[in-house]
Structure 1
């Protein structure tokens, strides 16, 4: 007597699903492929900013103090005072440099991660913003 066909199919599906789930966990953060223009449109805030250092925070993740150089887009009433990035696999490490940053914002706190639009300002060409977004 063998295993009934429906049980064998179920076991096979469970095996393939478990392999697929383990692969996703092992690879860490995954981001949907989006063009810079789409990231701009989907973000609450888009800024050119200079990271001035890390600060202590009650939020989880790494908090950075920031000097805003130019706001291209901002939907929150409060000015951005701190930028946060999570400590998980989707988090990013910002240096004390200028960046083009696009992310979500709430109560003056901006949140960015590997899936956000984060580009070192000095790596962008001299073309107008509309051409490299």
Structure 2
């Protein structure tokens, strides 16, 4: 009886350990987030060109250190004055992000730990030219106006806001997830008396002004 119990316990432990390995090697899984949340929840937001990389031996699969040429910093002045290196896991299955070298300018978001900037697949990292005009303006100044707001994802109807500082994010209903129309064209901005609402702010005059300047 006890021998049978031990065999059953060993079998269960084997199944559990197999599941753990499967979760580790299956791939990186991230929750969808609006670019504004990515801005507000990051320590560092920069526009930069990646000019080099080096594989470091620390970590189970190593850490990739990217050397960047910073073009502009949008957030993080109180953390680091100028970013020279970005660190990420070398394995994509552990959410490591891969950047092309000497090709594009990237919008990069990340965390600061012990003076180093870390990023990954669950952070918002995108080619600058792939961003919409509204997203560029958002990272430049609009998103910071809404960091006291809460963007509430709506996965299934009906959805409701439950407080005055919430904006209902419905991209998942009509665009099968991210990126959708609200992600690319709107910011959730705090209005009078603490109320938050979606803001596009793209009048004809605004378009002309935006096209004449580089965020």
TM-score (norm. length: structure 2):
0.48
Secondary structure at the aligned position of 2:112 is classed as strand
Q: Which runs of 5+ in 1 are unaligned?
A: 1-9
Matches within 5 A, 1:38-117: 38-55=37-54, 60-74=62-76, 75-89=78-92, 90-95=95-100, 96=102, 97-117=104-124
Q: Looking at both structures, which has the greater relative contact order when contacts are Cα pairs under 8 Å and sequence separation is at least 6?
A: 1
Deviation at 1:76, TM superposition (A): 0.9
Is the CA contact 2:55–2:90 (under 8 Å) kept in the aligned structure 1? no
Bigger fraction of residues in strand: 1
Give SS of 1:39's match: helix
Structure 1 residue 85, shift from structure 2 partner: 1.3
Residues 82, 108 of structure 1: 8 Å contact kept? no
- Measured after TM superposition, the shift of residue 67 of structure 1 is 1.2
TM-score (ref. length: structure 1) = 0.73
Q: Which has the higher helix share?
A: 2
CA separation in 2, counterparts of 1:55 and 1:103? 19
Cα shift at 1:55: 4.1
**Cα RMSD between the aligned structures?**
3.3
Match in the other structure for 1:25: 24
Instruction: Report SS of the residue matched to 1:29.
Output: coil
